[in-house]
Amino acid sequence: MMTVLHIISIAAIPALIVFILIFAALRGVKIYEVFVEGAKEGFQVAVRIIPYLVAMLVAIGVFRAGGAMEMLGTIVGPITTLIGMDPEVLPLAILRPLSGSGALGVMSELVTTHGPDSMIGRMASVMMGSTETTFYVMAVYFGSVGVYRTRHAVPGGLTADFVGIISAVLVTQLFFG
Amino acid sequence: MLNYIWLGLILAGIIAALSTDVSDLLSDKYRNEKPIDIVLTLEDGIEPAAGKEVDGTMTINLEYLHTFYGLDRVEDGLHTFTVHLTFSSSEKAVARVPVQEEFPSIWDEMTEAQPTDDDALAGSIIIVNRAGTETYNAEFTPDPLRFIGLQRVTNDGIVSYASTAVTIAIGLIGIMALWLGVMKVAEEAGLVQTIASGLRPIMTRLFPDVPANHPAMGAMILNISANMLGLANAATPLGLKAMEELNKLNKKVGTATDAMCTFLVINTSSVQLIPATVIAIRASAGSANPTEIIVPMILATATATIAGITAVKLLQRLPVYRKQLD
């Protein structure tokens, strides 16, 4: 299982690029010219994201640096414990939609201190994969096309996060409880 | 809603920082301006005098030090630390005490909170009287600390995250250019449209506003596939390509369309089938079966995705959100 996954993760990108290039070349596409033409946009897209990313990351930075996460933890802690979420896992649940690297740090720390095969380690692992860094994705994706009125994307994304976190807790208990 | 969440995150951070700061001040957690009694030893016949820069040692009773800060842990005995001194007169010196393992945890905390970058607790030493040929009774006062929570918000939150945002964006340029180039080639070859036609029944239902043969469909499928395989490097550029195509159908620049919101929620709910990073972390932590979390994780993420799609599909009908499209 591990080796199969390993091979997929290594081979997927080169295989995809080679496949597309050969396929296009056979169809008579001037691949080099077209590639360069498309790649030109890379810079503008990256630069266009900057203001959105700054706005989002600074807010998340203030939230984390000020210690609001610990404070939120003490407020919602009693509720989440009821559904079987260990208080140790709660920071991960709060951080998951806000910061990908932050959540990964917390998750790997939980896995290392409590052991990967403990309930906490398993719950943290499942939670890490159960949802994405909503606010980062939103800043980057919407920012790249200059969208700032996000309509129902935020409540929709947060619903997914909330359900993802809760199901991670319940499914882990179901599988390993 | 994003406006309120944005403000909420910032306010929550500042309020949390401020309330810790105020409670630290009220409880006088850092014992600002209060001197600690120590014994200072200057070896090799060094006499304290203005302008002299020397290394000495200071001896503190750990039990006394813990009581001083109101800490529980009581450990008996004297402890000796190195101290770097810069004398401004024969009695006063600026002191730097390099971090030691035996320090009470509060000193580590204070060292970190001090504005100086070195791993030493800064403070001042005043010599009270001579106790022996090389020893002096003295008072050590760590530099006062106030509003360190707010300082942390400014330095770690605002300043460092603002530059992190730019670092992330700049770091995306290369990989973005690569995938946008590859995508353009795939598009010219008609490959993107071919991929889209296979999944047409699902895609037209998810994105009824997007024409079935529109290039956005192909780009979205490629993005979702890359996400499923856990290829984050490829997924973001492909997703941005899809957003660009979706934006071509947008009649109101600056406002998200229904299709954009649906696509975004699919992305934020994660449709990962192979969580390579999580598995790697579990394996390196010595798990007996690092991949055992794949099935429960897929169940959890699938539930999240379904809930997210259901939510956007219901929410997009609300008059509040409809009105924003006009």
- Going by pLDDT thresholds of 50, 70 and 90, the confidence category of residue A165 is very high
Cross-chain residue pair A17–B182, CB shorter than 8 Å: yes
pLDDT beyond 90 at B119: no
Placement of tokens 């290829």 in the chain: B231
φ and ψ of A6, to 5 deg: -60, -45
pTM of the full structure? 0.86
Cα–Cα dist B215/B249, whole Å? 11
Tokens of B298: 């897929």
Tokens of A162: 């909330």
pLDDT of residue B314: 96
Q: What is the overall mean pLDDT for chain A?
A: 91
A40: distance to nearest CA of chain B, Å? Answer: 6
Residue B193, Cβ neighbours under 10 Å: how many?
16
SS3 sequence of chain B? CHHHHHHHHHHHHHHHHHHHHHHHHHCCCCCCCCCEEEEEECCCCCCCCCCCEEEEEEEEEHHHHHHHCCCCCCCCCEEEEEEEEEECCCCEEEEEEECCCCCCHHHHHHHHHCCCCCCEEEEEEEEEEECCCCEEEEEEEECCCCCHHHHHHHHHHHHHHHHHHHHHHHHHHHHHHHHHHHHHHHHHCCHHHHHHHHCHHHHHHHCCCCCCCCHHHHHHHHHHHHHHCCCHHHHHHHHHHHHHHHHHCCCCCCECCHHHHHHHHHHHCCCCCCCHHHHHHHHHCCCCCHHHHHHHHHHHHHHHHHHHHHHHHHHCCCHHHHHCCC
Cα–Cα dist B218/B262, whole Å? 15
Tokens of A172: 């882990």
φ and ψ of B122, to 5 deg: -95, 145
pLDDT of residue A12: 78
Helix (H, G, I), strand (E, B) or coil at A40: coil
Cα–Cα dist B64/B36, whole Å? 9
Tokens of B203: 């895609």
pLDDT of residue B193: 80
Task: Tell the burial category of B125 from Cβ atoms under 10 Å away from its Cβ (0-12, 13-18, 19+).
Answer: buried
- Beta pairing partners, B129: B137
> CA triplet B193, B196, B200: central angle to 5 degrees?
135
Residue A52 vs residues A59, A88, B11, B163, B239: alpha-carbon distances, Å: 11, 32, 19, 13, 16
Q: Which of B6, B162, B186 sits opposite A20 (nearest CB)?
A: B186
Helix (H, G, I), strand (E, B) or coil at A149: strand
pLDDT beyond 70 at A1: no
The interface predicted TM-score (ipTM) is: 0.91
pLDDT tens column, B281-307:
999 999 999 889 999 999 999 999 999
Q: What percent of chain A has pLDDT over 90?
A: 74
pLDDT of residue A2: 62
pLDDT of residue B304: 95
pLDDT beyond 90 at B156: no
pLDDT of residue B75: 63
Alpha carbon A107 to chain centroid distance? Answer: 13
Q: Which of A1, A13, A45 sits opposite B176 (nearest CB)?
A: A45
Tokens of B3: 């406006």
CB B243 within 8 A of CB A113: no
Helix (H, G, I), strand (E, B) or coil at A88: coil
Q: Which of A61, A142, A159 sits opposite B311 (nearest CB)?
A: A159
pLDDT of residue B181: 92
pLDDT beyond 90 at A11: no
pLDDT beyond 90 at B46: no
pLDDT tens column, A28-42:
999 999 999 999 988
pLDDT of residue B79: 86
pLDDT beyond 90 at A8: no
Cross-chain residue pair B157–A108, CB shorter than 8 Å: no
pLDDT beyond 90 at B100: no
Cross-chain residue pair A5–B274, CB shorter than 8 Å: yes
- Beta pairing partners, B55: B84
Of B44 and B218, more confident: B218
CB B219 within 8 A of CB A145: no
List chain A residues with CB under 8 Å of B278.
107, 125, 128-129
Tokens of A32: 């080099």
List chain A residues with CB under 8 Å of B157.
58, 61-66
Cross-chain residue pair B274–A130, CB shorter than 8 Å: no
pLDDT beyond 80 at A104: yes
- Going by pLDDT thresholds of 50, 70 and 90, the confidence category of residue B67 is confident
- Beta pairing partners, B141: B124
A81: distance to nearest CA of chain B, Å? Answer: 19
Four-residue CA torsion sign, A16, A22, A24, A29: positive
pLDDT of residue B273: 83
Of B196 and B224, more confident: B224
Start-to-end C-alpha separation, chain B: 18
- Going by pLDDT thresholds of 50, 70 and 90, the confidence category of residue B73 is low
Placement of tokens 């204070």 in the chain: B110
Q: What is the overall mean pLDDT for chain B?
A: 90
Tokens of B211: 């024409």
pLDDT tens column, B162-202:
999 999 899 889 988 998 999 899 889 988 888 788 888 99
Tokens of B65: 């030090």
Residue B265: HSE in the Cβ half-sphere, 13 Å Cα cutoff: 38
List chain A residues with CB under 8 Å of B292.
122
Q: 3-state DSSP helix/strand/coil percent for chain A, to nearest 5?
A: 80, 0, 20
- Going by pLDDT thresholds of 50, 70 and 90, the confidence category of residue B74 is low
Of B62 and B305, more confident: B305
Cα–Cα dist A157/A148, whole Å? 15
B70: distance to nearest CA of chain A, Å? Answer: 23
Cross-chain residue pair B264–A43, CB shorter than 8 Å: no
pLDDT beyond 80 at A3: no
pLDDT tens column, B233-266:
888 999 999 999 999 999 999 999 999 999 999 9
List chain A residues with CB under 8 Å of B2.
138, 150, 154
